[in-house]
Chain A
Amino acid sequence: MKRLDTSEIIFKILAYVLVTLFALATLYPFIYTISASISSKNAMDAGAVVFWPVEPDFLAIKAFFDEPAQGVRLWRSYTNTLFYTFFGTIFSMGVSIFAGYALSKSKLLFKRQIAFFIIFTMWFSAGLMPTYYNYQALLVTNRWGIIYGFGVQAFNIILLRNYFQGISQEIEEAAIVDGANELQLLTSVYIPMSKSAIATVTLFYALSRWNGYFWNRILVANANEHPLQVILRSIVSESGDSETGFDYPYSLRSLAYAAIVLSVIPIIIIYPYLQKYFARGVNVGGVKE
């Protein structure tokens, strides 16, 4: 053990204290949300829930499973979000992997021009309104429009390209000698060797699909096609209405917290397993030309 001088010891203690405080501050809203979603109406009305659940009866959570009035739109939007996330991620990944692979080829004709064509969009975009008018003009106003009109990011393509470029040429040549064509090369050499980069990009895409709100809301007119985030928003806003004349066995606020819990559960469950990929994406994605 090296000797630490006083200033280093003070700094170390400060680091532990502040980091702990910051982590607790991050955690607290989540714990409170869970507690508020399962506590009883009495406890909520009395303001007794501060940290841990008080008289937990799970009635607000149950409402989404038992009462059609609450459940139907939430689960329909849940199904929609699963649809958007599943097909949207497949679409985005398909396009991005092909693009990243093609751009990783050192002998590709017009390689610089094509790369510039894609990277340019990272620095200049037409802006909100032209984008909106463009989506309208191209009729991106339904379920499938949301799938194919969104979710191909230049950043992710470059991330994949950089990773593919790092794969050794000798392996590729060996596969070519064995008679592999480009598609086989991609599916049996490049993709298996880039699992972590592909996992990172898949997670980015899936997450942005799962959390997508704004464009869905302004472009898709049919409420039956709205995703979870849009419905969650309405449930929470409605809980802000006056609670007088409301005689359900749970607090309206618990209902809002319960909807939040149900919408976040999938992310919280996968997060501990996948967080390393999220963190990695930040450092891998440097644009190198």
Chain B
Amino acid sequence: MNLANEQSIISYKELEALREEAIFREMEESKLHRYWLTIKRQWPIFVMLIPVLVFFLLFRYRPILELIIGFKSFDANITNNTFESPWIGFYALRELMFGTKEYTVLFWRAFRNTFTISMYGLLFGFPIPIILALLFSEIKSDGFRSITQILTYLPKFISTVVITSLLFLMLRPGQADANIQPGIINGLLVWMGAVPNETNLLGNPAYFRSIFILSDIWEGAGYGSIVYFAAIMAISPTSYEAAKIDGANKLDQIRYVTLPGMAPTLTIMLILRIGGILSVGYEKIILMTENEVHWVLDSADVLSTFILRLGNVYGSSAGLSVPPDLVRAFSTSADLFNSFIAMFLVLGANFISRRVSDTSLF
């Protein structure tokens, strides 16, 4: 009797909803069932995916979880577990950006240096591979061209340690009283009268950026030209013929045929470059400055090297005076700031490029 009453209370609408839900659940189940059948059929493929998924979870995604240490204090004496440490909110980031201590000054110095080095890199490092590709495309003798191309790619395959070792050895200052010769390039510059005798080029903030960017060009311009060279080779020769009939000289041909022809490649490479403006590599800078006096960091310290010093990972963190339990919070906050702006830059460059030229990365 009771039961019948309760049943009659359920309205038609509710009944309908219940039925829909049941049908939906059934559909879901059959969908899951279908998934299960597919997985059963494709199991060898899924087994093959296990290593890569485990690797990416552990070494690419788990670090993202570690980012929360930027908002926590960490004391290894209390707990080694990141997740149990007490929260401090945005304290570290705020302190780093707007504080009054030495580290705030050094943080903004690193930010400025990163930006300056990238801008110079963009200004000089970006056009040179393009020019090199244009020059290569002009050389019609296949033998000569492949030999010079192969030669210029070579430094890309030499380790950063070797390249910075060469810089260190070749730019060494001489010591007249101890009868020590300067490194070969330093000697050449002194002989040319470009720098005073016994100048330590690598240890001098005034020269650091030029050396860094010049060596980057030496290292990467050849390899960087490959992409542009391929783009130039893809341009149909008839376009040049047509331009010539219209009376175009070589410069006109480059301007009206070659450059527009390689515009998509140029755009993509420029986006990548702008996206990387805040990620000046740490390895080369550390290797170049490690043996020098701290003074050179005035123009050499970039965000990544600053973050490493802040985190006490590498090099001296002297003068940073971060409380020990906040070392992780500070360095991770700086890292987060860096990643955030870098992502913003990629998205921004991509957006502008899509608006202007219909070419975009994603």
Complex contacts, A127 vs chain B, CB 8 Å: 63, 67, 307, 332, 335-336, 338-339
Q: Given A121-B56, A126-B339, A137-B66 in contact, is the A132-B49 Cβ separation under 8 Å?
A: no
Q: Which of A23, A102, A213 contacts B49 (CB 8 A)?
A: A102
User: Is A130 in contact with B169, judged by CB distance below 8 angstroms?
Assistant: no
Complex CA gap A22/B182 in Å reads: 24
Give a binary string over B49-74; 1 marks a CB under 8 Å from any A CB, 0 the rest.
Answer: 10111011011111111110100000
B9 contacts the other chain (CB 8 A): no
Q: How large is the interface on A (under 10, 10 to 19, 20 to 34, 35 or more residues)?
A: 35 or more
Q: Which of B60, B182, B226 contacts A125 (CB 8 A)?
A: B60
Complex contacts, A199 vs chain B, CB 8 Å: none
Q: Which of B135, B160, B223, B286 contacts A19 (CB 8 A)?
A: B135
Chain B 76-114 interface residues, beta-carbon cutoff 8 Å to A: 82
Complex contacts, A14 vs chain B, CB 8 Å: 135
Question: By CB atoms of chain B within 10 A, which of A117, A150, A207 has the most?
Answer: A117
Complex CA gap A50/B181 in Å reads: 12
Chain B 230-258 interface residues, beta-carbon cutoff 8 Å to A: 230, 244, 249-251
Complex contacts, B169 vs chain A, CB 8 Å: 36, 236, 239, 253, 256-257
Q: Which of A23, A27, A134 contacts B63 (CB 8 A)?
A: A134
CB-nearest residue of chain A to B131? A18
User: Is A129 in contact with B60, judged by CB distance below 8 angstroms?
Assistant: no
User: Is A211 in contact with B166, judged by CB distance below 8 angstroms?
Assistant: no
User: Is A129 in contact with B35, judged by CB distance below 8 angstroms?
Assistant: no
B201 contacts the other chain (CB 8 A): no
Q: Given A33-B166, A118-B52 in contact, is the A124-B339 Cβ separation under 8 Å?
A: yes
B10 contacts the other chain (CB 8 A): no
A169 contacts the other chain (CB 8 A): no
Query: Which candidate, A58-66, A170-178, A274-282, is the interface stretch facing chain B?
Result: A274-282
B304 contacts the other chain (CB 8 A): yes
User: Is A232 in contact with B165, judged by CB distance below 8 angstroms?
Assistant: yes
Q: Given A29-B170, A47-B181, A124-B339 in contact, is the A99-B62 Cβ separation under 8 Å?
A: no
Chain A 128-180 interface residues, beta-carbon cutoff 8 Å to B: 128-135, 137-138, 148-150, 152, 157
User: Is A128 in contact with B153, judged by CB distance below 8 angstroms?
Assistant: no
Q: Given A130-B69, A279-B226 in contact, is the A46-B314 Cβ separation under 8 Å?
A: no
Q: How large is the interface on B (under 10, 10 to 19, 20 to 34, 35 or more residues)?
A: 35 or more
Q: How far is the CB of B349 from chain A (nearest CB, A)?
A: 13
Question: By CB atoms of chain B within 10 A, which of A29, A49, A242 has the most?
Answer: A29
A85 contacts the other chain (CB 8 A): no
Complex CA gap A79/B222 in Å reads: 31
Complex contacts, A98 vs chain B, CB 8 Å: 48-49, 51-52
Complex contacts, B51 vs chain A, CB 8 Å: 94-95, 98-99
Complex contacts, A272 vs chain B, CB 8 Å: 150
Complex CA gap A169/B283 in Å reads: 44
Complex contacts, B82 vs chain A, CB 8 Å: 133, 137
User: Is B64 in contact with A126, judged by CB distance below 8 angstroms?
Assistant: yes
What does DSSP make chain A's interface, helix, strand, loop or mixed?
helix
A222 contacts the other chain (CB 8 A): no
Complex CA gap A94/B135 in Å reads: 40
CB-nearest residue of chain A to B36? A109
Complex CA gap A186/B45 in Å reads: 11
CB-nearest residue of chain B to A244? B178
User: Is B152 in contact with A213, judged by CB distance below 8 angstroms?
Assistant: no
Complex contacts, A248 vs chain B, CB 8 Å: none
User: Is B152 in contact with A157, judged by CB distance below 8 angstroms?
Assistant: no
User: Is B62 in contact with A134, judged by CB distance below 8 angstroms?
Assistant: yes
Complex contacts, B336 vs chain A, CB 8 Å: 127
A67 contacts the other chain (CB 8 A): no
Q: How far is the CB of A65 from chain B (nearest CB, A)?
A: 20
CB-nearest residue of chain A to B253? A8
Q: How far is the CB of B303 from chain A (nearest CB, A)?
A: 9
Chain B 203-243 interface residues, beta-carbon cutoff 8 Å to A: 218, 221-223, 226-227, 230
User: Is A260 in contact with B166, judged by CB distance below 8 angstroms?
Assistant: yes
Chain B 276-290 interface residues, beta-carbon cutoff 8 Å to A: 282-283, 286-287, 290
Give a binary string over B126-165; 1 marks a CB under 8 Å from any A CB, 0 the rest.
Answer: 0000001011101100001101111111111111111001
Complex CA gap A275/B134 in Å reads: 21
CB-nearest residue of chain B to A217? B314
A-B contact sample (15 more), CB < 8 A, given A102-B49, A129-B307:
A33-B166, A99-B49, A107-B42, A117-B56, A124-B339, A126-B335, A128-B307, A129-B335, A131-B63, A133-B328, A137-B66, A137-B82, A207-B157, A233-B161, A260-B166
7 residue pairs from A and B, CB less than 8 Å apart:
A14-B135, A102-B48, A114-B49, A117-B56, A121-B61, A123-B362, A129-B332
> Which 6 pairs, one residue from A and one from B, show the smallest C-beta to C-beta distance?
A211-B159, A127-B335, A126-B63, A99-B52, A15-B138, A47-B181
